Amino acid sequence: MYSLKVPVWFPSFLVFVPGKGDGSQVFWDGYTRSPQKGAVVKRWIARGVGILVAVLLLIQLIPYGHSHTDPPVVAEPAWDSPQTRELAVRACFDCHSNETKTYWFSSIAPFSWLIQHDIDEGRRRLNFSDWTGNGREVGEAAETVREGSMPPIQYKLIHPESHLTDAERTALEQGLQATLQGG
């Protein structure tokens, strides 16, 4: 009789796996086994993991977030001091410049999707590399630093190097203010 040999973790509803209707299943070695105590639960956990892995592999095929080519740097603001720029590079440039760093997880979905979205939105609001462009919310830059709303919390958790001490935060806030007033 027709029998399909599948590994135990394989989600059986994807293929027809003959059994006796009592939860028994044909295993990879060709033998039919009835489930023992706890085996059904284990099997469903194994299938869950199998499906999760399959989904994680499949979503890697979606091209969104794969390209890491930055647009050219057009013009930076007239920084009031090299220190202000340094702090902004550390805490803001990954999303608000055309000099975004690429990390080992930058191409791995779903991280790549979140990163791409942050970069697109970030550059649209405020781009330190395209200071001639319109539509920038520069007036709020110092304010976001003072409030602590930028960089976003999820970014700070993953990038400890972007964490600013109180003194650095004050320096960046005042530096941005001076830079933006200067034009």
Residues near ligand HEC, by CB under 6 A: 91-92, 94-96, 118, 121-122, 125-126, 137, 140-141, 144-145, 149-152, 155
Work out how close the CB of 139 gets to ligand HEC at its nearest, in angstroms, rounded to a whole number.
8
Work out how close the CB of 165 gets to ligand HEC at its nearest, in angstroms, rounded to a whole number.
13
Q: Nearer to ligand HEC by C-beta: 17 or 89?
A: 89
Q: Distance between CA atoms of 111 and 51, rounded to whole angstroms? A: 19
Q: Nearer to ligand HEC by C-beta: 126 or 171?
A: 126
Half-sphere exposure of 120 (CA within 13 A, CB side): 9
φ/ψ of 15, rounded to 5, equals -135, 165
Tell me which residue of 156, 173, 182 sits closest to 83, measured CA to CA.
173
Q: Nearer to ligand HEC by C-beta: 4 or 147?
A: 147
Q: Nearer to ligand HEC by C-beta: 91 or 109?
A: 91
Q: Distance between CA atoms of 115 and 151, rounded to whole angstroms? A: 13
